[in-house]
Structure 1
């Protein structure tokens, strides 16, 4: 019986242990397989990353118009393309500040920065409105939706030959004129504000010289120059004198649609049968405009103002205006002037009607109608419901006091509605506003430019 031969084991270090057999089918080397898979995963991962980054920066980072404003959006892009095609040596400046969702905030900022651009002999680059998202928070991947500012204002109309080269352009198409790499950036620091002692007129003159002396073709100023502290400066009259006499007030006006709608609400004074007629309407703005949900610091903005010791907004604390706000003020005083009760509003309106000149024919006060402009722009459904009940109570009490009519600007929550309200308030016979708002500050300026007396203005 023969024994089965034992298989010969390979010797240590032999080629059979260190080299796989050639020409023989078998599984791939595990080490080679893992390296190849890792390379492919890295490649596809990087490809996906660059694809998403390109999509975000090229698509999501590019704002799109709110539905219904496409024609204005495209026109602003075309205007920028036309300006880029011209060989005129125009210098531009863009002030990169926070975005605005309401026309009254944007208008207040626009007048200041547009004049600064004009004073520095540069064309002004303006930004669109960015309405707040419907939800409380806007996701990072959501594309920005904007309302072109030309939907509300005639930007740079009525320019004469001397100033035609300074026609403003929209920041939506500014990249066609001034690519990012060709821009010279100026940054506003807290030291810049403190060195000027937060004086708005001093800051205006200083930066006008700085920008005018710069040889850069494209300038971008980053940061807020006219902060809340600057606009709360006690001696605001010099800035008011500068803005109220600036050419920008005839260049930057509301669109014809805004004027057209406003004239149907409160007709302007006119001559009928040789006798002057007036609109005999007082416009009331009682509440602070609501802040977007995703930017509200608290549910008590009046309490926030009291904790800061804030004065009336910008031009609302001009000297010579009736019913000024006296600083310092206790929290109860802030509550009374910032969020008045219905009875307090009835008293304010009655005092204004008594003090107002009477009609020469009847001997009664010219003021017979009240138009309330605390509309729904930015209100949540719950806030909107509370506001309706508030108005019904106010109308009931005013009717008992003998006012002929009490109307409410509750229709329309679009951006144009706020601009229409501002024009209505500027054209009315009298105005009672909330002095802590940009809206009231703008109305003070517009009424002064229209030649209306400061005595026709009151604050709640």
Structure 2
């Protein structure tokens, strides 16, 4: 998602029309479904089923004179002849550790040097913004430009996502907030669209009392071991200087090797156990209560964003409840991604539903090594939600 946003921002800065495509697993049009871990998923999902805003063709704000984004199918009709460039034409002149702003400017200069109105990046060339930029602090120097770009300020989720969030709001909204929500919004079926459709990022207000937990399970443990071997840092947008939780690689790892002690530290931050999660939740709950002690605003509800198996999630829920009970501050509700009721269409965009809930939480505890967490943190920081409410394991 971050690469998509930066590519669209590049088009905006270069004053060119951005061309967007489907969210694509398989470009073979004869294959409507693809195999993912033994399960069938759609080979292609319209991007507008996930997101809205200028990035997918919505109007720019009043006063902005800029061509609107178009679908790939339209582009192919109006640009049968186009200038095709290879990524190496730009990247070869950049230092290996170039920050995102330098990469952006190099591409703007390249695009501005081309007279042809139709320009295409060769599909098989290197990405404009390489994956390593997003996994490092090199992405952060583009933030002053990106955070005020209409690509981000006018970013919002699709009606399909909003309908899923609204229908399931009883799982994560506190009693007080839910009462106010239901008094102002229609009751809807998960199979229909909601009338609540924010049109800009600043309309995603935090839900008072909600603590969101992003916890990766499954084969992510292998990725965590890999990170330990290479002394990896948190993702770029999980490394804003204003965020309270920092991570510096401990000694014992690097260049493909690690020690048991180093590996254990990485797992605590990347793949925490139930006991470690419960302890961290208690710490963060105390921190938030202290931060807001003069105004109230304690955390009262938990939503677990996870791909964990149902049995493991149930174990975690019970452990969270028991710890809160022992501390004399029971949770109003503890729910997870596994509790969401989703329509057939919503099922395949469920990760976006999780992201909206995380985006709107009063506090989120996320995985500093996860791009999903960094998506949420990026949106929260762009929305000026207090940095201290973005926490990590």
What does the per-residue CA deviation read over 1:167-193, in whole Å, with 9 as the maximum and x for residues that have no partner? 1112244211222xx121221239537
Matching residue of 2:191: none
Residue among 351, 357, 376 paired with 1:424: 357
Instruction: Describe the shift of the 1:450–1:360 C-alpha distance in structure 2 as closer, same or farther (beyond 3 A).
Output: closer
What are the residue-to-residue correspondences of 1:365-404 with 2, within 5 Å?
366-375=298-307, 387-402=309-324, 403-404=331-332
Query: How far does the alpha carbon of each residue in 1:337-369 deviate from its partner, in whole angstroms, 9 at most, with x for none?
Result: 111101111111101110113698999761011
Whole-Å separation in 2 of the counterparts to 1:312 and 1:360: 27
Q: 5 Å matches for 1:208-357?
A: 208-222=108-122, 223-264=126-167, 265=169, 266-267=172-173, 279-287=208-216, 300-328=222-250, 330-357=262-289
State the TM-score, normalizing by the size of structure 2: 0.74
Give the corresponding residue for 2:68. Answer: 167
Q: TM-score, normalised by structure 1?
A: 0.64
CA distance in 1, matches of 2:159, 2:65: 21
User: Alignment partner of 1:122: what SS?
Assistant: coil
Displacement of 1:250 after TM fit? Answer: 3.5
Structure 1: distance between partners of 2:206 and 2:101? 39
Alpha carbons 2:21, 2:71 under 8 Å: kept: yes
| Equivalent residues of 1:302, 1:338 under 8 A apart | yes
Aligned equivalent of 1:78: none
Provide, for residues 100-136 of structure 1, a one-character-per-residue CA deviation record: whole Å limited to 9, x for no partner.
Answer: xxxxxxx222111000010111011112112472266
Aligned to 1:188: 87
Which residue matches 1:198? 98
User: Matches of 2:85 and 2:247 in 1, distance apart?
Assistant: 36
Taking the aligned partners of 1:360 and 1:204, their CA distance within structure 2 comes to: 39
Flag the structure with larger Rg. Answer: 1
Q: Give aligned pairs, total.
A: 327
Match of 2:229, SS state, is: helix
CA distance in 2: counterparts of 1:422 and 1:359, whole angstroms: 24
Deviation string 1:139-163 (CA, Å, 9 cap, x unpaired) is xxxxx93111011112232424654
Shift of 1:303: 1.5
Q: Give the equivalent residue in structure 1 for 2:79.
A: 178
CA separation in 2, counterparts of 1:333 and 1:229? Answer: 22
CA distance in 2: counterparts of 1:361 and 1:112, whole angstroms: 38
C-alpha distance in structure 2 between counterparts of 1:112 and 1:289, whole Å: 29
Question: What's 2:334 paired with?
Answer: 406
1:247 Cα offset (Å):
1.4
CA contact (8 A) 1:152 1:254 kept: yes
For residues 165 and 139 of structure 2, what CA distance do their matches in structure 1 show?
29
CA–CA separation in structure 1 for the residues paired with 2:305 and 2:78: 40
Q: Distance in 2 between matches of 1:233 and 1:193?
A: 21
- Helix, strand or coil at the partner of 1:220: strand
- State the alpha-carbon separation in 2 of the partners of residues 289 and 117 from structure 1: 37
The counterpart of 1:446, out of the listed 375, 379, 387, is 379
Contact kept, 8 Å, 1:236 with 1:318, in 2: the verdict is: no
CA shift, 1:248, in A, is 0.8
Contact 1:198–1:229 (8 Å) recurs in 2: no
Match status 1:120 vs 2:14? yes
CA contact (8 A) 2:60 2:150 kept: no
Distance 1:444 1:278, change over 3 A: closer
Please report how far the alpha carbon of residue 245 of structure 1 lies from its aligned counterpart in structure 2 after TM superposition: 1.5
